[in-house]
Structure 1
Amino acid sequence: MRTLASRLRNRIELWRREKVETDIGEITKPIFIKKLWADIIPVSTFEKNGQADTEKAEAKSKVIMRKTDIKKSDYIVYNGIKHEVLYVLPNYDNKGYIEVYTCMVME
């Protein structure tokens, strides 16, 4: 029987947006938090045409990882592609894991 830990085969990066005070005011700066092992499961995708011959593709995924400090304002980078965190749920079957639902938008 495979354990959930053996399915965590994707190396992801967790980034956080933090507000930094500068001499011109307050700006948001991305800060690297840590690298994690995760399982990325595609949930849904869709593509639509926009104005001026533009296309927008959106892919939603479920990312399973060990429990960590993650916020809704964070984002995940996998293979150089940014995935915005939509929401975080506990994994009720395996108490030491969380499910992070993400959205990747390409324009």
Structure 2
Amino acid sequence: MTSGVFDGIWSHGQKLFAYDEGVTSGRSFLGFIEPSNLVADVVEARTRVGFVPNEEHRLIATPSETFPYGTETMIVCGTAKFEVLSVKEIYSGEKVSHRECMLLKAGEVESDA
């Protein structure tokens, strides 16, 4: 069962794409990505604009979005690419309100010129 606690916010989410290992086409969904470990001394370690080595992010996704266990999943947001490290269901009472994923920034998406 899913909870309607966050139903009003999903339309404001970013359009994201998930690519599961062994699947050639991605699926789109709405969610929110935010940095989870940016601190003052990390800024000095930046190798290029917008990229910090081992930069972790948190993804807040709809309760209906599932990420297959045991397969590698990549999330694409604009030109940024992230690897899914972990997924957990967050409950509101006995119902799932959303899913939280820890992501590792894996680089940038190559664009066709």
- Partners of 2:25 and 2:67 lie apart in 1 by 12
| Residue 70 (1) aligns with residue 67 (2) | yes
Aligned residue number for residue 59 of structure 1: 55
- AA at the equivalent of 1:82: K
Aligned-residue CA RMSD (Å): 2.8
Q: Contact 1:13–1:32 at 8 Å: present in 2 too?
A: no
Q: Which runs of 5+ in 2 are unaligned?
A: 108-113
Q: Flag the structure with higher strand content.
A: 1
Aligned residue number for residue 25 of structure 2: 32
Pick one of 4, 7, 10 that aligns with 2:9: 7
Q: Contact 1:87–1:102 at 8 Å: present in 2 too?
A: yes
| Identical columns (%) | 13
Q: Number of paired residues?
A: 90
TM-score by length of 1: 0.66
TM-score by length of 2: 0.63
Shift of 1:57: 2.1
User: Which structure: larger Rg?
Assistant: 1
Shift of 1:97: 1.9
- AA at the equivalent of 1:36: F
Q: Which runs of 5+ in 1 are unaligned?
A: 19-29
Cα–Cα, structure 1 residues 5 and 39, in superposed 2: closer, same or farther, change >3 Å? farther
Does 1 or 2 have the higher relative contact order (CA < 8 Å, sep 6+)? 2
